[in-house]
Amino acid sequence: MGRSASSTDASAAGVTTRRLRVLHQELDACRACPEMIGPVVHGPAVASPVLLIGQAPGPREGSFGRPFAWTAGKTMFRWFEEALGVNEERFRERVYMAAVARCFPGKASGGGDRKPDADEIARCRTFLEREAAILRPRLVLAVGTLAIEQVLGEKKPLAESVGRLVHGTYHGVPTDIIALPHPSGASPWHKLEPGKSLLRKALGIVAAHPAIEAAFA
């Protein structure tokens, strides 16, 4: 007798999780960027159809050992709780969370967190390429300007990226892409119009996406 579809799915998820764990061991040992401040931060090895990509951890995330662990995370998880009806814990269990860079870049001279530079982004992209190949996500959530640029492959004002569903590819994987603003308090974009309405629209598109339904089924 053949195996049931659910046992086949469970076995595929097990393989995906094991491959992600191997990749995480390599990530944890990575010291490729001399200016970056460790430790490497990543979410758990979740076999998910949804891949969330942020910019980089802030100064606090390293001590918590997980992405979006401080104030920006509180805002972002509140957005998801209101739009999807899932709390932070469940979101972390069901969505694979990555970032353009996995180490804290330090502070910028003018205040705020330094943006990862082009070399750092290129080095860390090798991990994202492999994660995309392992997960083959059906939905990519790009959070913040840098992640949006990296995922969509072009620079655009937030008002032209947020609030749309893009049918695209990410590292060769056909996928849908939804851009969200960065939840950091450093930018008021998502609190003022048109950002407020565009964010609401984007979260509505996220909530209605079949990959979200699959992730939280």
Site for ligand SF4, rule CB under 6 A: 27, 30-33, 36, 40, 101-103, 120, 123-124
Shortest distance in whole angstroms from residue 90 CB to ligand SF4: 27
Shortest distance in whole angstroms from residue 109 CB to ligand SF4: 20
- DSSP letter at 166 equals E
The smaller minimum CB distance to ligand SF4, of residues 28 and 82, is found at 28
Shortest distance in whole angstroms from residue 42 CB to ligand SF4: 9
CA–CA distance, 29 with 7 (Å, rounded to integer): 34
Shortest distance in whole angstroms from residue 106 CB to ligand SF4: 11
Shortest distance in whole angstroms from residue 99 CB to ligand SF4: 9
The token pair at 185 is 């308090």
The smaller minimum CB distance to ligand SF4, of residues 95 and 128, is found at 128
User: What is 135-187 written as a DSSP string?
Assistant: H--SEEEEESHHHHHHHHSS---HHHHBT-EEEEEETTEEEEEEEE----TT-
The smaller minimum CB distance to ligand SF4, of residues 23 and 166, is found at 23
The smaller minimum CB distance to ligand SF4, of residues 131 and 176, is found at 131
The smaller minimum CB distance to ligand SF4, of residues 77 and 104, is found at 104
Residue 60, C-beta contacts closer than 8 angstroms, at least 6 positions apart: 69, 70
Helices 5-29 and 118-135: angle between axes, nearest 10 degrees: 160
